[in-house]
Amino acid sequence: MKTFWDERYSSAEYVYGESPNAFFKAQLEQLTPGTLLLPCEGEGRNAVFAAGKGWLVEAFDQSEAGRTKALQLAERKGLNIHYQIGDWLEMTYPEASFDVIALVFAHLPAALRTAAHQQVIPYLKPGGVLILEGFNKAQLQYQTGGPRDLAMLFSEAELRHDFAALDILELYETEVELDEGVFHQGKAAVIRMVGRRL
């Protein structure tokens, strides 16, 4: 997968755009800035937005090309983000480090999904919030982004299982019109979740 993402991010263009994900933006703007973790952050659009709102941002991804573009975007806007390279299950942080963790289209192979999701829960502070938007299983009917593997797409039942340790505040599937760079354009079937660590 690293090679795939390095190739996708190798162009000068920001292939998912430079603006933040709409659901992430709406949720973050309701919260007091603090510490934020962004796994699978790609080209940095969400990290840079958050930094501009006063958040202390920690991000990671497999892709060197994504990290390079993220840091360029931050520099262009006069902002600082901390961005590491690594596989999700190899990244570790101290317990109760973050006020918010956001998983924005962070799809992993099905065999890794539950372990990865449950790994990040202890990184939230008590009362901390997890924000998630991804593609639901109906996305296979659209050509507007996401894995073409049904098992990598999310269902409500899977997310309730993975995040059973959280107080689920919102969890629903919906259709949206994506406008996020060249690879997320048009009608899409997404799932959105907000959970709080008890």
Q: Domains of the chain by range and CATH?
A: 2-197 (3.40.50.150)
Candidates 75, 24, 68, 72; CA nearest to 50 is 24
pLDDT at 148: 97
pLDDT digits (tens, 9 = 90+) for 9-68: 999 999 999 999 999 999 999 999 999 999 999 999 999 999 999 999 999 999 999 999
pLDDT for res 1: 86
Longest distance between any two alpha carbons in the chain, whole Å: 42
Amino acid 158: pLDDT: 98
Q: How far apart are CA 121 and CA 125, in angstroms?
A: 9
pTM of the model: 0.98
Distance spanning both ends of the chain, measured CA to CA: 34
Give the closest residue to 94 by CA, choosing from 32, 24, 159, 37.
37
Return the ∠ at Cα 113 (arms to 84 and 121), rounded to 5°: 65
Read off the pLDDT of residues 68-110 as tens digits, 9 standing for 90 and up: 999 999 999 999 999 999 999 999 999 999 999 999 999 999 9
The closest alpha carbon to 131, from 157, 100, 165, belongs to 100
Structure-block tokens of residue 194 = 């907000």
Output the pLDDT for position 161: 98
**What digits encode the pLDDT tens for the residues 154-193?**
999 999 999 999 999 999 999 999 999 999 999 999 999 9
